[in-house]
Amino acid sequence: MGSKSHTDGAWSERPVQTRSERYASANVGDFDEPTGREVDWKLTPIKLVRDLINGELDGSPLESQVAVAQPVDGFSLSWIDRTDERIGSAGLPEDRASANAWSHFDQALAIDITGEEPTGEFIVARSGLGTVARAAHTVITAAPNSRGILVLENSGDARIAENVEIVVGEGAHVTVVTIQQWNDSAAHLASHFAQVGRDATLRHIVVSLGGGVVRVNPSIHLSSPGSNTEAYGLYFADAGQHLEQQVYIDHEAENSRSRVKYKGALQGEGAHSVWIGDVLIRQSADGTDSYEENRNLVLSEGTRADSIPNLEIETGNILGAGHASSTGRFDDEQLFYLQSRGISEEEARRLVVRGFLAEIIQQIGAPAVEERLTLAVEAELTVTV
Amino acid sequence: MSVLEIRDLHVSVDTEQGAKQILRGVNLTIKQGETHAIMGPNGSGKSTLAYAIAGHPKYHVTSGSIVLDGEDLTAATVDARARAGVFLAMQYPVEIPGVTVTNFLRTAKTAIDGSAPPIRTWVKDVRTSMENLRMDKAFAERNVNEGFSGGEKKRNEILQLELLKPKFAVLDETDSGLDVDALKIVSEGVNRAKENTDLGVLLITHYNRILRYITPDFVHVFVAGQVVESGGPELAVQLENEGYDTYVAASAAAAEAIASAEAAHAAAGVVDAPAVNA
C-alpha cells in the first residue's frame, strides 16, 4: 500500500499539489502522525483529538447505541463483518484518523436503500457513546433506481473516529443527512466517501450544531457519466466549538454535475469553523458543471471562520465551474429592509440568521426533521443575539 | 389629519471619497390623502430623499428635519419611523433568503400594530390583496424577493403597502422596469390604498407614465438636490414635452455662480493672508 515517504505529511519532499494525488490507504501505519502543518490538519486542533488520530480505538459494534426511529419500507439495517465485499467499495482513507478508524472497527453498520417509493425518511440515531475513544464504520448502499432520505443523528457524549461509505447505484436519487448535535465535550472525526453511479444523484447534507471538535469530511466521486451531487452543509459554532468540513468533489466522468453550498454562523469567544472545498475536474470529465459556495455569518467578536475554496480544472471542455466564498457580518441592506417594515433591529437580525441557515435546512426534504433543526437553530440564537 | 413635513432637509451620503452632499434644502408638506409626484433627472437626489425619509443608515441628515404630525422623526430608528406610519416602496427590494413572504408579512404586521393580527381575518386579507395584485398563491411560501422578477418584486412592495396600512408611502421609482400590465396592476394597488386608508403618497419617478394611472395633486421638479418648481398635474405634461433641460441648465448656471463667488472669495483670502501673518 505504498510507503511512508508518499504521505501527505512528508514535507521534506514535494508537497502533494493535486487533490487526486493525495495518498490513500486503509492501514493506519501507512500514515505519519500529523504534526499540525499538513494541509488537511493545519486548521484542526489536533492536540484535542490525538487519541482518535494515533491511539487505540474501541471498534466494537454500537448495537445498543444505534436506534432506528421507526421502520420504513425500502430501508434496512444490519451489522456486517470487515470481510464483507461492501467494505471499501466507495473509497479509502486519506488521513490518519480515517485510517485509524478503518484499522480498528470490528463490524460495520450497513444501511441499504432499496425502495423506489419510500413512505418517509429513515432516521438512524446514535447516542450514549460515552467517553472512550471509538472507531466506527458505516456502509450505505442505494440500489439502482432507489429513492429515499436517510438521516443519521448524533447526540450525547462521544469520542469517535469513523468512516461512512456511500454507494449510489445507477439512476438512484438519495439524500443522506448527517446531524451532529453532540455535547460540548464530544470529539468526532468522520470521513465520508461516496461513489455516484450513472445518472444518479446523491444529495449529501452535513448539519453540525454541537460538539467540541467536529470534523466531517465528505469526498464525493462523480465516477459515472451523468452523475450528480448536491452537497449542502450547515454549521453553527458556539463559544469554544470547532466545527470543520473538508469537502472534496471529484469530477471523474463526463457530464457530471455538482453543487456545493455550506453556510455557517459563528458566535462566542473561540467559535471556529473551517470549510475547505476542493473541486477537481479531471481531463476525463468533459461537460462538467460545477459550483461551490461557502457563506459565513459572524455574529460576535472572538470568532474565526476559515473558508478555502480550491478549484482544479484539467479540461477546458466544461459547462461551468465556479466558486464563491464570503465571511461577513449582517447585510445592512437586509436589516434596513426588514426594519423599514417596522421590525425591530433585534428581531430583524434573528430573522436574517434564521433565514440564512434555513436555506440549507429547506434542502433536507423531510418536514419533521426540518422543523426540529429550525427549532435547534432558534435555540442557538436565543443564547446571545 | 396627518401631515408629513420635510423641512429644509440637507442630506449627505457616505462615499469612498468621503461624505457627499446630495440634498440641499428640501421643503415639502404632504397631507394625508394627497399625492405628490417628485420628478427629476437621474442623479438629482430623488432616491436619496426617499432613503432619508425612511432613515437608511448610509444617509446623514446634516440639517433640517422630517416631522410627522408634529413628531420629529429625524433621529428616529428605521423601524420606529415605520411604526409611526411611514412606508418606503423600494426601487430595488432586497432578497431575504430563508424568510417566507407569509412569515415576513405577519412579523411586520405584528410589529406595526403592536400585536399579532387575528389569524382568520389576516389570512383572508393577505389572500385578497394577493389576488388583487394578481399574485399567485405560491408566492406566499416563497422566500422574500428571492428569485422574483422585477415586476414581482414591485407587486410584493405594494402588497406590503396594502397590508401594513401606513399613513404615508414613498414610492421610489416603483414604475421602473414594469411593463404596461404590471404598471396598471401596481397603480391599482396604490389607488386602493389611497381609497381605503386615505394614504398620503410621495411618488418619485423619472417618467410621467405612471401618472396616467396614479393622479398626482401636486408635481414637484427636483434638480440638484432641491425642489426647483412646484405645480399641479399640468406640470408633468409640460415636463413630458420639454424635458428637464431648462431646469438642469438653470441649476448648473446657479451652481457655477456660487462656485465662482466662492473662488473669488478664496482668491481674496489668499491676498489677505500675508497681511494677517505679518
Q: Looking at residue B172, which CATH number applies to its domain?
A: 3.40.50.300
User: Using CB atoms, which residue from B78, B90, B95 is nearest to A339?
Assistant: B78
Number of Cβ pairs < 8 A linking chain A and chain B: 83
SS3 content of chain B, % helix, strand, coil (to 5): 45, 30, 25
| Three-state secondary-structure class, residue B25 | strand
Whole-number average pLDDT of chain B: 92
The answer on pLDDT for A8 being more than 50 is: no
Q: How many CB atoms lie within 10 A of CB B178?
A: 20
**Nearest-5° angle of CA A320, CA A324, CA A328?**
165
H or E stretch including B169?
strand B168-172
The answer on pLDDT for A9 being more than 50 is: no
- Cβ of B96 and A343 within 8 Å? no
Phi/psi at B64 (5° precision): 90, -175
Range list of H helices, B33-94 = 46-54, 78-84
CA distance A85 to B212: 75
At residue B276, the pLDDT reads: 37
Are B273 and B214 part of one and the same domain? no
SS3 content of chain A, % helix, strand, coil (to 5): 20, 40, 40
Least confident of A32-41, A160-169, B156-165: A32-41
Would A191 be classed as within a structural domain?
A: yes
| Domain that residue A135 falls in | 4-330
Q: What are the pLDDT digits (tens) for B98-155?
A: 899 999 999 999 999 999 999 999 999 999 999 999 999 999 999 999 999 999 999 9
Would A210 be classed as within a structural domain?
A: yes
Mean pLDDT, rounded, for A335-339: 97
Tell me the HSE value of A260 on the side-chain side, using a 13 A CA sphere. 30
Q: What is the largest CA-CA distance in chain A?
A: 65
Are B33 and B138 part of one and the same domain? yes
- Cβ of A343 and B107 within 8 Å? yes
Domain count, chain B: 2
| pTM (2 d.p.) | 0.77
Mean pLDDT, rounded, for A334-343: 97
The answer on pLDDT for A224 being more than 60 is: yes
Beta strands, E only, chain A? 66-68, 75-81, 107-113, 122-126, 133-142, 147-156, 159-168, 173-182, 187-196, 201-210, 213-222, 228-237, 242-251, 257-266, 272-281, 289-298, 304-313, 320-328
The answer on pLDDT for A13 being more than 70 is: no
Mean pLDDT, rounded, for A344-348: 92
H or E stretch including A96?
helix A96-104
Are B257 and B147 part of one and the same domain? no
Q: What are the pLDDT digits (tens) for A151-203?
A: 999 999 999 999 999 999 999 999 999 999 999 999 999 999 999 999 999 99
At residue B268, the pLDDT reads: 59
- The residues near B266 (Cβ < 8 Å, ≥ 6 apart) are none
CA distance B247 to B23: 16
Q: How confident is the model at residue A20 (pLDDT cuts 50, 70, 90)?
A: confident
At residue B261, the pLDDT reads: 73
CA distance A112 to A141: 5
In our burial notation (b when 16+ CB lie closer than 10 A, e otherwise), range A181-218 reads: bbeeebbbbbbbbbbbbbbbbbbbbbbbbbbbbbbbbb
The answer on pLDDT for A12 being more than 60 is: no
Are B206 and B266 part of one and the same domain? no
The answer on pLDDT for B7 being more than 80 is: yes
Would A378 be classed as within a structural domain?
A: no
C-alpha separations of B206 from A279, B152, B153, B177, B211 in Å: 47, 20, 19, 12, 11
Q: Are A365 and A326 in contact (CB under 8 A)?
A: no
The answer on pLDDT for A1 being more than 60 is: no
- Identify which of A373, A326, A384 has the alpha carbon closest to the alpha carbon of residue A350: A384
Closest-approach residue (CA) in chain A for B99:
A355
**In this structure, are strands B143-144 and B96-100 parallel, antiparallel, or unpaired?**
antiparallel
Q: Which residues of B touch A344 (CB under 8 A)?
A: 79, 111
User: Using CB atoms, which residue from B93, B98, B112 is nearest to A337?
Assistant: B93
Are B173 and B263 part of one and the same domain? no
Would A370 be classed as within a structural domain?
A: no
Q: How many CB atoms lie within 10 A of CB A26?
A: 17
Are B50 and B175 part of one and the same domain? yes
The answer on pLDDT for A133 being more than 90 is: yes
Are B188 and B84 part of one and the same domain? yes
Would A341 be classed as within a structural domain?
A: no
| Domain that residue B273 falls in | 244-278
The distance of Cα A298 from the centroid of its chain, to the nearest Å, equals: 21
Would A178 be classed as within a structural domain?
A: yes
Phi/psi at B252 (5° precision): -65, -40
Q: Which residues of A touch B99 (CB under 8 A)?
A: 351-352, 354-355, 358
Are B195 and B173 part of one and the same domain? yes
Domain count, chain A: 1
Would A291 be classed as within a structural domain?
A: yes
Are B219 and B86 part of one and the same domain? yes
At residue B263, the pLDDT reads: 72
User: B136-143 contacts: CB < 8 A, separation 24 or more?
Assistant: B139/B101, B140/B100, B140/B101, B140/B102, B141/B100, B141/B101, B141/B102, B142/B100, B142/B101, B143/A355, B143/A359, B143/B95, B143/B96, B143/B97, B143/B98, B143/B99, B143/B100, B143/B101
Are B197 and B270 part of one and the same domain? no
Any chain A CB within 8 A of the CB of B77?
A: yes
Are B86 and B203 part of one and the same domain? yes
The answer on pLDDT for A384 being more than 90 is: no
Whole-number average pLDDT of chain A: 93
Q: What are the pLDDT digits (tens) for B215-230?
A: 999 999 999 999 999 9
User: Using CB atoms, which residue from B79, B81, B95 is nearest to A344?
Assistant: B79
At residue A195, the pLDDT reads: 98
H or E stretch including B219?
strand B218-223
Q: What are the pLDDT digits (tens) for B79-111?
A: 999 999 999 999 999 999 889 999 999 999 999
Q: Which residues of A touch B143 (CB under 8 A)?
A: 355, 359
Q: What percent of chain A has pLDDT over 90?
A: 87
Q: Tell the residue number behind the cell numbers 473558508, with chain if given.
A: A307
Q: Which residues of B touch A370 (CB under 8 A)?
A: none
- Cβ of A348 and B99 within 8 Å? no
Are B110 and B232 part of one and the same domain? yes
Would A343 be classed as within a structural domain?
A: no
CA distance A188 to A190: 6
CA distance A203 to A178: 11
- The residues near A100 (Cβ < 8 Å, ≥ 6 apart) are A28, A52, A53, A54, A55, A57, A135, A161
Q: Which residues of B touch A356 (CB under 8 A)?
A: 97-98
